[in-house]
A and B are shown apart, each in its own frame.
Chain A
């Protein structure tokens, strides 16, 4: 603090701190505090807000367990909202794992194997599709994956059975992996470029086969990038709304769709706030899990 003042003067320091404080307080803490506070209150007509019935309650959270509609999951019959909540987390993890499985080899190739002159070109090719808005790209997948769409036509041409892609979670998985792949790719790519080639060669020279080189040298080196990519993709996937709405089917609801319905169709902002807060908690748990699993610090993930 004193260092900042000495370096930039009192006025500039005040501006820096003021802007940061405004960001943190007004744009992060304030809305979240309001949301959390709202989530513990009943959904009441305007005239009763502040009245004797406006008390703190767990009812919004408990509404998750409402038993009017049930669904089977792994042999248990559970309320449908809980089912959606759990499948959303599960498929977000699947999306994250798929992204990591695809992005790592790609990042390895671009960081270590591709001829240096071609790398900027290849990275441009990866980025160019991102110039198109997410909405249009998702619609494009809607067309590609349609039952009479190009993908099935192609499969018929090579003699394969047509597949109903937009059924269950297939379309959602494809769409999300496509949309979020780069958020996994870039952190891994960045961490792999800093890996000394001599370390790879040293491992090979000591007798390591290629997968051992990855398991013992390259992946441990890239773990900060992998965990940061996993965190981002998971948070985007859990909070995604566009892809599940366009590429989902009636049998594949996403938890964000439940929140939107509660908010705009039921107009029950209090319950929606409770559900949103749950989603936030899931993300926090996931980040801490990542830090545990990869033994990295928050500063590594935030890189």
Chain B
């Protein structure tokens, strides 16, 4: 059974550069938690602090309620899966898996037995005597998981382990990882810049940017109710419109743009004074509707066939590009480039969010 990981006000400085800035999050025992963010956002640094390779400059990391200050990586109940896997090329597969047992002084026969057991768990029962170099990318992946599981960790830390695989294999391994996590009920902390991975596998996702944790929530909430402009634009596609909050109307705010006034659901911290933007997901935009009622007239500038969907981009008079997607139904009529079309959306599916630089202020800057 996994253990919880508590980060409380964790910061780390490299010289003058603050790589992780005041991050607090409580990861529950047995949870699949993802840190999602662009490269350089500090997510790998968090992972290295949890595994014990880096010490936070400030703040506290606890695993299973025990503070981890001064405890080295070889004494923490964590197992790290490296981005390049870092399998030992000079050892056969079974010795790779049993490495953690070997350094704990467990005898050869028992190590071998345990390795075979883990090889069955990762579905590679006959690979024990092969060398690492003889395996394919996906097989190496599984060996790395087996090696990390062999020491019976309370927390598994995964540093973008799927990034080197091709698309099909990556999708397959997603399901596999999730299944292994559910079977072993070990806490998984997963680092990725791929929103698809984070959304598909995780119980909860923490979105990071420039060292800060922007939002921690379920994948559904991250996608449907992003907390600020960064989260909205990093996760999924949006039509974005600039403007300013004019006033309130029930649960919505009136958002004034050069193309008119639209109603949208306000995100945290939105008020007339704060700089904010309007975000609408492509799937929330319909073609048609009456101008004035959350609708805008556009000129179609591109129609792209993408297989299951057709992406249609319209250009508003005010200069915004708005993308909508319509499902590809056989024989359905689609607009042509140059056509005039009205795009409309439901106020509850449009979000007014503070922009990224403004988002810094309420979170408490430097």
Interface residues in chain A, defined as those with a beta carbon under 8 Å from any beta carbon in chain B: 196, 198-199, 201-209, 212, 216-217, 220-221
| Structural contact, A208 and B80, CB atoms closer than 8 A | no
| Chain A residues, Cβ within 8 Å of B150 | 206
Provide the bound-state CA to CA distance between A174 and B53, in Å. Answer: 39
With known contacts A204-B74, A206-B147, A198–B103 Cβ distance under 8 A: no
Q: Shortest Cβ distance from B75 into chain A, in angstroms?
A: 8
Interface of A is mostly: helix
* Chain B, residue nearest A200 (CB): B86
What 1/0 flags go to B47-80 for Cβ under 8 Å of A? Answer: 0000111000000000000000000111100111
CA distance A209 to B74 in the complex (A): 7
Instruction: A207 to B106: give the CA distance in the assembly, Å.
Output: 13
Assembled-state Cα–Cα distance A56/B293 (Å): 114
Question: Given A212-B103, A216-B102, A216-B103, are A205 and B73 also a contact pair (CB < 8 Å)?
Answer: yes
The 8 Å CB contact of B99, one of A198, A201, A206, A209, is A206
In the bound complex, residues from chain B placing their C-beta under 8 Å from that of A205 are 51-53, 73-74, 78-80
Closest 3 CB pairs of A and B: A198-B86, A206-B100, A202-B86
Q: Is A216 a contact partner of B82 (Cβ separation < 8 A)? A: no
CA distance A220 to B89 in the complex (A): 10
Q: Which residues of chain B (76-100) have a CB below 8 Å from chain A?
A: 78-80, 82-84, 86-88, 90, 99-100
A196, A201, A202, A221: which has the most chain B beta carbons within 10 Å? A202
B341 at the interface (CB under 8 A from A): no
B74 touches A208 (CB 8 A): yes
Which A residues are in CB contact (< 8 Å) with B82? 198, 201-202
* Minimum C-beta distance from A117 to chain B (A): 13
Closest to A215 in B: B103
Q: Bound state CA distance, A203 and B147, in angstroms?
A: 11
| B104 close to A (CB within 8 Å) | yes
B239 on interface, CB distance cutoff 8 Å: no
Contacts of B75 in A (CB 8 A): 207
A-B contact pairs, 12 of them (CB 8 A): A198-B82, A201-B86, A204-B73, A205-B51, A205-B73, A205-B80, A206-B147, A206-B151, A207-B100, A216-B103, A220-B90, A221-B90
Q: Which residues of A contact B99 (CB under 8 A)?
A: 203, 206, 208, 216
A198 touches B104 (CB 8 A): no
How long is the Cα–Cα vector from A220 to B148 in the complex, in angstroms? 21
Q: Residue on A with the closest CB to B102?
A: A216
Please give, as numbers and ranges, the residues of chain A lying within 8 Å of B73 by CB-CB distance: 201, 204-205
In the bound complex, residues from chain B placing their C-beta under 8 Å from that of A206 are: 74, 79, 99-100, 103, 147-148, 150-151
Q: C-beta contact mask, B336-353 vs A, less than 8 Å → 1, else 0? A: 000000000000000000
B residues less than 8 Å from A196 (CB atoms): 84, 86
State the CA gap A205–B83 with chains docked (Å): 14
- Bits for B352-364, please: 1 = Cβ < 8 Å to A, else 0: 0000000000000
Instruction: Say how far A115's CB is from chain B's closest CB, in angstroms.
Output: 12
User: Once bound together, how far apart are the Cα atoms of A204 and B88, in whole Å?
Assistant: 13
A202 to chain B, nearest CB (A): 4
Q: With A201-B80, A205-B79, A206-B103 given, name 8 new contacts (CB 8 A).
A: A199-B86, A201-B86, A202-B80, A203-B99, A205-B52, A205-B80, A206-B79, A212-B103
In the bound complex, do residue B100 and residue A217 qualify as a contact, i.e. CB atoms below 8 Å apart? no
Q: Which residues of B contact A204 (CB under 8 A)?
A: 53, 72-74
Chain A: which residue is nearest B75 at the CB level? A207
What's the minimum C-beta distance from A208 to chain B, rounded to whole angstroms?
A: 4
- A38 to chain B minimum Cβ distance, whole angstroms, is 46
Contact residue among B53, B74, B87, B88 (Cβ-Cβ distance under 8 Å from A207): B74
Segment 99-145 of B: residues with Cβ below 8 Å from A: 99-100, 102-104
The answer for the CA separation of A198 and B73 in the assembled complex, in Å, is 13
User: Which of chain B's residues has its CB closest to A217's CB?
Assistant: B88
